[in-house]
Structure 1
């Protein structure tokens, strides 16, 4: 396990893909953003009160040593824990076909005993942790901002299925645009 600095050198030496990961939650309470409306007609977002189901989302921004960046995501009912992340990592590794240098924050599930044991058992995974309280260093945060300020902004979804459908469209939009992923990385200042 390393701090942020070793990632670039290790990636170059091993041909590894630098992967940033992060989680977020989606709920029926919409992210409210500024909008335009005719004078005197304040827009109103109608949402159902009461129990608000949520789903979690794990995002993986992948920057290979050559070729375009890639973005993967997985929707997870409820909350994300270390078991779920360990379940997803081999699929990310297979899709990339190279060793992974995984850079993420200091969340408990990222530093858990189970996660460390998993990383120790694999020859293709190196864990690197961002400094505490530094979401601005993770390009996946740019993806969440793009999603929540774009397709999900002011969305008054009536069901979780509707919310997930709109989120998937926004996430596919991100997946199809490598220049957007490069912009998320450039926004961190880590290029």
Structure 2
């Protein structure tokens, strides 16, 4: 991952250059859920996978989260929150797999709303990723995947304790948290 640059400095007339390695020796995948319930503080639940640097694949053979990883995240969130889940999902291909659709259909405590294509501005989790990149990853060239993973976990933990920041991610989308179903349902 190329580190985002938030601020640099140099002598006047000299363009600053940030040097990074060209090849990655590993891969980290992260999935998160922004959880909102009226009258309660907002929560952030996340999971990560550190991929094998030699093969790069998980036990499922993927280089990212599989539908079973998302299934496990949803089950853990349901257990942790003790409430039904209403998911607002983007069009990631894993979110639309047959296995995950069957899992959602089998469990009445999950309701899924699919976002239209190319609308990251309606996804509250995108605000979390943006905050994470601007704060914990800015101006950092990570030495290895473990260094990146430590920074991600630390940054996500800080966000978890800031329910106002998680609320801001929802506010930025223009969506609202309601207790009653939309008209016509």
- State the TM-score, normalizing by the size of structure 1: 0.79
- Give the match for residue 154 of structure 2: 169
- Give the match for residue 116 of structure 1: 101
CA separation in 2, counterparts of 1:51 and 1:187? Answer: 33
Q: Determine if contact 2:6/2:134 at 8 Å carries over to the other structure.
A: no
Q: Which has the higher contact order (CA 8 A, sep 6+)?
A: 1
Residue of structure 1 aligned with 2:123, choices 134, 138, 149 = 138
More strand by percentage: 1
RMSD, aligned CA? 1.6
Q: Determine if contact 1:47/1:158 at 8 Å carries over to the other structure.
A: no
- Give the match for residue 164 of structure 2: 179
Residue of structure 1 aligned with 2:30, choices 37, 57, 60 = 57
- Give the match for residue 181 of structure 2: none
Helix, strand or coil at the partner of 1:170: helix
Give the deviation of 1:39 after TM superposition.
2.3
CA separation in 2, counterparts of 1:37 and 1:109? Answer: 41
- Structure 2, gaps ≥5 residues long: 52-62, 177-185
CA distance 1:102–1:80, change in 2 (3 Å): same
Pairs within 5 Å for 1:11-50? 27=1, 29-31=2-4, 33-40=5-12, 42-50=15-23
CA separation in 1, counterparts of 2:157 and 2:24? Answer: 28
Q: Does structure 1 residue 66 correspond to structure 2 residue 39?
A: yes
- Structure 1, gaps ≥5 residues long: 1-26
CA distance 1:169–1:51, change in 2 (3 Å): closer
CA distance 1:51–1:68, change in 2 (3 Å): closer
CA separation in 1, counterparts of 2:23 and 2:148? Answer: 17
Matched residue pairs, number? 163
- Give the match for residue 75 of structure 1: 48
CA distance 1:112–1:187, change in 2 (3 Å): same
